[in-house]
Structure 1
Amino acid sequence: MPLVLFYARHLDGQHAYIVHQDVAFKTILVNDGESYDSNTGRFTASVPGVYMFKLHYNHYTNIRANLEIVRDGRPLQSPGQYEGSYAVSVCMQAFAKVTIGDMVWMRSI
């Protein structure tokens, strides 16, 4: 069975997003199976199966950066909404049964 695994991240400072903006992580540390596209930020399944997707980010004061994990445009996992003058650290994961061609990505909410 082929190995499909990716690990991508931002290495540079703070990022602000508009509502429903796709998030593309430009620094790729691992991309076995070549399923993650750093230009679009989308993972496209090349092998059917159950996958785990994990997202960790820090939401800084006065920066719009609430993110969710989506599959083919529908949310798989979303955080609670945090408003206020403090920083928040968010970690979430989602499991999804996917078929070849299904796409999973992160977007702002």
Structure 2
Amino acid sequence: MTSSDSSWNSGTMVFPSVITNEGNGYNPSTGIFTAPIGGTYVFFVNVQSYGSQNIYVDIVLNGSTKVRIMAFTGNYDAGPNLVVLNIQKGDAVWVKYYSGTGYYTDGPLTTFSGFLI
């Protein structure tokens, strides 16, 4: 994430700053990764709560929640989680809102990563 949002509370979490995008599967305008080839992928999310707010997000495959991430009632608490998925070419993976409000970033704290293994 390139900026914090204290009131974010719906939809897909869009990560506009991309460090590496081999195969161009990630779309920084929509926040959706579309697999350029099938295989086994690892996806990792770290979400940082905004102040003492709670935030829950999900890693989603084709509309189905695979894991949940929680940053809960701390002072800028971190919530990390990862999932290993067998996916087909064209499958979509993204991070979506589940519950709570806001996220924080001061440098690369709230992040989304994925790679083929």
Aligned counterpart for 1:89 among listed residues 78, 82, 85 = 78
Contact 1:16–1:63 (CA under 8 A) maintained in structure 2: no
Identity of aligned residues (%): 20
Contact 1:18–1:64 (CA under 8 A) maintained in structure 2: no
Measured in 1, the distance between the counterparts of 2:71 and 2:16 equals: 26
Equivalenced residue count is 98
**1:61 is matched by which residue type in structure 2?**
G
1:11 aligns with 2:34: no
Measured in 2, the distance between the counterparts of 1:81 and 1:15 equals: 14
**Aligned-residue offset at 1:66:** 1.9
What stretches of structure 2 of length at least 5 have no aligned partner? 99-117
Runs of 4+ in 1 over 6 A off after TM superposition: none
Measured in 2, the distance between the counterparts of 1:26 and 1:81 equals: 21
Aligned counterpart for 1:35 among listed residues 25, 42, 48 = 25
Measured in 2, the distance between the counterparts of 1:59 and 1:80 equals: 9
TM-score (norm: length of structure 2): 0.73
Contact 1:17–1:65 (CA under 8 A) maintained in structure 2: no
Higher RCO, Cα 8 Å, sep 6+: 2
Measured in 1, the distance between the counterparts of 2:62 and 2:38 equals: 15
1:24 aligns with 2:23: no
**Aligned-residue offset at 1:86:** 3.8
